[in-house]
Chain A
């Protein structure tokens, strides 16, 4: 009992704690000093939960001579209904008193490990640490967008030189040693993410899961004073608590009535949903790690009519990547074509693919386009790019000749491809010829050997054009399809995490309101609080209480008048 002396001298301690740093102080539960109860409750019966907090109290409670005073303050509301609570579940279940005792029984090392893990858990679930971590991660990400990623070291030597460093100290040494050139896979960033994950796990375990147990209990308040101290409180003269209860039930609250006391709550899901948020974040992190370590990626540009084997194109991304049987599939590009708007712009591009297995039998055939990938055996094939590979022409009715087209650099996103048909002496250094340019597969623009515009032809029209004495017929423009292939084992986990996150974030918008009431003679004292919708709560309560009927006692009989009281 001596060890709990700070709690004995309740009032000064109570005032002080408002201004002290209380890292994991759950503000909902009132700090009620009940020293005797707590001590007994801890050992024998039913403590509600334990809060880890550091009390710097002027009273000396160091009977064991510990340096940092870390007391476990066990709170319990007055007269809790008996609940069976397994002591192991309470965080750091055994208090400071029992730990050394039990550890002495088990042996020094395991006791030390237990104490260490508890200390680590305590540090990790600190809220300020978590906020600091989140802030650091945000700052690192911002830095990652400012500094160019993935360039050769030369780039950083030039842009962050040592002789006049950016911001006075930031040179390429900082960039390269800390791994800022590949920020999002650098050890610093991944380390911070891992730390945040650990904090998430610690916080979920220590503060949120006990919350589930506590929130489910109903706890009555027996003193009118305490009720008056709530955020919202009111007194109804001449009312009955049963009427209040009925009204609350009508408004959607769950009401519990015991004698003169009443407790009602609503929106409990809103208090429990943040646990779901944290768990789904952990799920996403796990899925992301799986994706990063175990997937295959690759991309290829295939001209129309050619094949490639899946396994040749894909490369692993991490140490968990294992190839599957589906990697032996051969993919044949049957046709590549594009759709156009009326104005001539490209509206969509499509590739007709057939998948053949090792025996040459076709197992699947699908036309893919952007936003519409092909999925087979865990592999997904996306349409991401296109180009023109060759132009098939007839020259003076000879041919057909395939002229390879090369991409030409112009500004902007528009592509331009060109090819060249030499005319005359091929071996002379000054060879001239016919140039053909194409922006897409629709039409080809031809220029003669002086560079003057000669005409436009559509590949399907088969109309000849006469340039410099030769007759050219454009038979076909052969396009090639840019495909991205990928396998990703982490996707189902990540999608599950996404769905859960969306759902739980929605639910955590709800507000958890609690109302207590006491029948004091003929008047009812009501108090309540809510954790989120603090603006609407008083108005809602006022509206509700306006509906409570006022009991008017006449000498002859009791009449209940429904005068709105207020």
Chain B
């Protein structure tokens, strides 16, 4: 139907003088040719970048796994750090290419927002790499996140994903702020929640192991002191270490590790909470401009608010210093599930005003 219309159009230009029409033809076709060329260059570039980033991340993950199983192999540390930096630049390039190609910021659908999410993860990973001078902490969590993320985008969805056009409701400046803040928020909160899950795993794994060993009072003592060691500050801990048994030093290092995880998780989640707040509020203002009211109890909005509430609970459970890390870790782990429901679950169901990103719609 469109082709017919096109011929009609061309036919109408024949009404002009012959010279003018030829001129118009020439311009028309050469513009199209140039456009095609640029399109092809950018799309192949995009392809290349996707594959490079994906493979680099896979290599980094495998080296980390190897270093976990086989003890510290020198030189792999730098390899992983450089690998993450390379993949960061690749993903940045990918996003910029898509931006140029489609003429709008790469936020219009699920695929693009997933790529943006992986970009967010790589940013956080690099920031923490440079802040903390030994990066065994973030190096465990962040690459695995990026990996699952990158795999989902590159492998599970279609290989060639044409950039789609923006529907009228998305043609707004608020798109940039709202979506980017939300995704950065999700990235930070996911990182922090994973760290909290790590805390829970270590704490309860340890306790279960100790209780399972025997009813020996010795081990029970160890388990109690393990739990309490966490809540002493550095100086008291040094005193405790000097006084207790040698085997408790294993608990000491483990509790030290947990404390680090706890503090990092607190910091990252606070940052993520900040981004989430700004994202939700800018979304509300945008909704007021576009649809007439700033809060519609849309499923996606509601779940974003639920996520916000859960992490507010996380921040408040830390006020009570007794059991602060365990309680708050439980809240953060719940938050992990809820973020995935909010981000992917609602889109998959395809309901509500946010259904642009669903698989069912185009």
Contacts and interface: CB of A to CB of B under 8 A. Distances in A.
A412 B319 CA distance: 49
Contacts of A380: 292
Interface string A223-247: 0000011111100000000000000
A348 B172 CA distance: 11
Contacts of A130: 316
B273 A505 contact: yes
Interface residues of A, number: 69
A445 interface: yes
B297 interface: yes
A232 B313 CA distance: 28
A416 to B, nearest CB: 13
A384 B292 contact: yes
Contacts of A23: 320
A498 interface: yes
Contacts of A534: 263, 266
Contact of B284 (A345, A498, A536): A498
B303 to A, nearest CB: 7
A228 B302 contact: no
B233 interface: yes
Given A384-B291, A484-B292, A131 B302 contact: no
Contact of B361 (A228, A232, A412, A509): A412
B318 to A, nearest CB: 10
Interface residues of B, number: 57
Interface in B261-306: 263-264, 266-267, 270-271, 273-274, 277-278, 281, 284-285, 288-295, 297, 299, 302-303, 305-306
Contacts of B284: 498
A370 B310 contact: no
A127 B297 contact: no
B135 interface: no
Given A127-B319, A231-B234, A505-B274, A138 B306 contact: yes
Contacts of A382: 290-292
Nearest to A132: B313
A442 B5 CA distance: 10
Contact of B292 (A25, A134, A486): A486
Contacts of B320: 23, 25, 127-128
Contact of A134 (B131, B267, B290, B312): B312
Contacts of A535: 132, 260, 263-264, 267
Contacts of A138: 306, 309-310, 313
Q: Which of A27, A138, A491 has the most CB of B within 10 A?
A: A138
Interface in B152-179: 165-166, 168-169, 171-172
Contact of B1 (A19, A288, A445, A494): A445
A154 B161 CA distance: 44
Nearest to B284: A498
B288 A491 contact: yes
Q: Which of B260, B270, B271, B273 has the most CB of A within 10 A?
A: B270
Interface stretch (A139-147, A359-367, A426-434): A139-147
17 contacts: A25-B320, A134-B312, A231-B233, A233-B235, A345-B165, A370-B171, A371-B168, A456-B1, A484-B292, A488-B293, A494-B294, A498-B284, A502-B277, A505-B277, A506-B274, A535-B132, A535-B267
Interface of A: 18-19, 23, 25, 27, 127-128, 130-131, 134-135, 137-138, 141-142, 144-145, 149, 184, 228-233, 288, 291, 297, 341, 343-349, 369-371, 373, 380, 382, 384, 412-413, 442-443, 445, 456, 458, 461, 484, 486, 488, 491, 494-495, 498, 501-502, 505-506, 509, 532-536, 538
